[in-house]
Amino acid sequence: MADEKLSIAGLMTKESPSWCPGCGDFTILSTLKSAIVELGIPQHQTVIVSGIGCGSKVPHYIKAYGFEGLHGRTLPVATGAKLANHELNVIAVGGDGDGYGIGGNHLIHAMRRNLDITYVIQNNEVYGLTKGQYSPTSEKGFKSPSTPNGAIEEPVNPVALALTMGATYVARGYAFDIAHLKKLIVEGVRHKGFALIDVFQPCSTYNKINTMDWYKKRIYRLEDSGHDPSNFLDAFAKAQEWGEKIPIGLFFKADKPVLEEGLPQLAQGPVAKHDIRNIDITPLLDKFR
């Protein structure tokens, strides 16, 4: 695998997606593949980690190392992979329910630790896999099988949360602005630190509000407005914009030490490559016999 020339065709697997027609997962998948090719990182040095959800089947569709974990447990697996071999390019992928709801606690701590991981969250503002329940990013009043009278909770603001908790690369893309999204993913992977890329995507089956037309009327690129991604306060102010105008692009980027740099266990190289032939675990095993 390491000697093959990296290409889109080379990243193909025998599995085929079974998503609904019009789902943004298709373009997110193809854009991620295109980004991996542009990055030029060999397949054996890349691991795709996901949770459970419509888009969390991504590890099945990219020919690289992959791990499909439990619902909401994407980042514990990604963290383990990174700490076991910090030379790996670790990309986590999951939905808004997986990342902001069930996995919200893991997300908070991964961001404050500034692990060198890229997390692409497919945000369609609904639980698509389990028949359209409202999700943490569903707008207040959103009607669904679980909230027939409308959601009464305020939605999570992923960008503001990421900024508050210390993520050092915070961006938002749109599934059908492919070139723009690819640029965000490539830059996020190249960034040394925790990169959160929230990706708007329509759910053509269960979310009839946040449609392609809805996004087309509202989203604009931050770079077209002269936004400075090094300015934290401006980034936080932009994160509050919602309604008639919604920004996408790079909100914030900062250079800070990553967690891996503070671990003396990694000074001699990846833990996975340490020589453990001289370690005798017999005394430890004897305690449990």
Q: Which helix (H) or strand (E) holds 29?
A: helix 25-39
Q: Determine the pLDDT at residue 64.
A: 94
- pLDDT of 285 higher than 50: yes
Worst-scoring range by mean pLDDT, 57-61, 220-224, 279-283?
279-283
Within 10 Å of residue 186's Cβ, how many Cβ atoms? Answer: 18
Q: Determine the pLDDT at residue 1.
A: 43
Q: What is the DSSP code string of 258-277?
A: -GGGG-GGGTTS-GGG---T
- pLDDT of 274 higher than 50: yes
The pLDDT mean for the chain works out to 93
Q: Determine the pLDDT at residue 4.
A: 60
Q: What residues does each domain of the chain span?
A: 9-264
Per-residue pLDDT tens for 139-148? 998 888 888 9
- pLDDT of 267 higher than 90: no
Q: How far apart are CA 268 and CA 273, in angstroms?
A: 9
Q: What homologous superfamily does CATH list for 9-264?
A: Thiamin diphosphate (ThDP)-binding fold, Pyr/PP domains (3.40.50.970)
Pair 81, 90: CB distance under 8 Å = yes
- pLDDT of 10 higher than 70: yes
Q: Which residues of 248-278 are buried (b: 16+ CB within 10 A; e: fewer)?
A: bbbbbbbeeebbbeeeeebeeebeeeeeeee
118: Cβ contacts below 8 Å, ≥ 6 apart: 90, 91, 92, 185, 188, 189, 191, 195, 197
Burial tier of 80 (Cβ tally within 10 Å: 0-12, 13-18, 19+): middle
Give the residue, 1 or 200, on which the prediction is more confident. Answer: 200
Per-residue pLDDT tens for 84-141? 999 999 999 999 999 999 999 999 999 999 999 999 999 999 988 888 888 999 899 8
- pLDDT of 172 higher than 70: yes
Pair 138, 155: CB distance under 8 Å = yes
- pLDDT of 2 higher than 50: no
| pLDDT bracket for residue 3 (50, 70, 90) | very low
